[in-house]
């Protein structure tokens, strides 16, 4: 399943500001949310709708409604929460879960510290959020946990992906479609994406 890399001048423009090390916390956070909204539009192009009748000021007409309860957004803590507002703007009544993982600075492997997801996760389309798909370790572990809960319909959204992360995630979870706003060059020796944008969590929350 080929990843979907969004190509649009407006997204490119936002990415140019996002990557700039001089961009401040407030603007960085807003851009993450805005790009996430674009990703959500693309990822949910296949959303199922039901026909309803509404009355406009002029007359009655057919309209089409998404059952928002069918969707669950699962950010990987902590950086994934920076993407959440963008998706909630699109589907405000979707259910929200959280998976807490951190990267061991020596092994680069993700460690779990928090896990809570909506009930009936097996009946929902699940959208996993993490701004950076670097080694793929956190995404793989989070998706594995969700599958263990019975989740079957899963998509992964990120702002920037590295080829190594895409390859590894596809090898372990070939059924999960990946959506990104940029595919970067590679990982460096510290497992950071090049050119990337630095540590997304630190820049979202202003911790460095």
Q: Quick one: tokens of 108?
A: 């680069």
Question: Helices in the chain by DSSP H: which ranges?
Answer: 9-19, 25-43, 81-90, 137-148, 163-172, 200-205
Catalytic option among 23, 107, 153, 175? 107
Residues 130 and 79 sit within 8 Å (Cβ to Cβ): yes
Q: Does residue 23 have an active-site annotation?
A: no
Q: Is 199 a catalytic residue?
A: yes
The single residue of 69, 70, 85, 202 carrying the catalytic annotation is 202
Report the alpha-carbon distance of residue 182 to residue 195 in Å, rounded: 11
> Is 202 an annotated catalytic residue?
yes
Please identify which of the residues 19, 23, 29, 103 carries the catalytic annotation.
103
| SS3 call for 16 | helix
Catalytic residue among 29, 199, 203, 207: 199
On whether the CB atoms of residues 175 and 146 are closer than 8 A, the answer is: no
Catalytic residues, by residue number, are 103, 107, 199, 202
């Amino acid at each position: 399943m080929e990843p979907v890399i969004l190509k649009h001048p407006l997204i490119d423009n936002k990415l140019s500001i996002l990557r700039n090390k001089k961009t401040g916390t407030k603007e960085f956070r807003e851009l993450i949310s805005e790009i996430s909204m674009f990703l959500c539009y693309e990822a949910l192009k296949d959303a199922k709708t039901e026909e309803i009748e509404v009355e406009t000021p002029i007359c009655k007409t057919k309209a089409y409604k998404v059952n928002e309860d069918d969707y669950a957004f699962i950010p990987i803590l902590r950086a994934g929460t920076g993407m959440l507002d963008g998706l909630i703007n699109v589907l405000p009544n979707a259910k929200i879960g959280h998976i807490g993982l951190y990267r061991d600075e020596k092994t680069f492997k993700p460690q779990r510290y928090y896990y809570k997801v909506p009930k009936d996760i097996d009946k929902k389309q699940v959208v996993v959020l993490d701004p950076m798909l670097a080694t793929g370790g956190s995404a793989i572990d989070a998706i594995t946990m969700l599958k263990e809960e019975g989740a079957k319909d899963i998509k992964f959204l990120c702002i920037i992906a590295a080829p190594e992360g895409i390859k590894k995630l596809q090898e372990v979870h070939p059924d999960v479609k990946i959506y990104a706003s940029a595919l970067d060059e590679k990982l460096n020796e510290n497992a950071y994406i090049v050119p990337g944008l630095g540590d997304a969590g630190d820049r979202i929350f202003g911790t460095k």
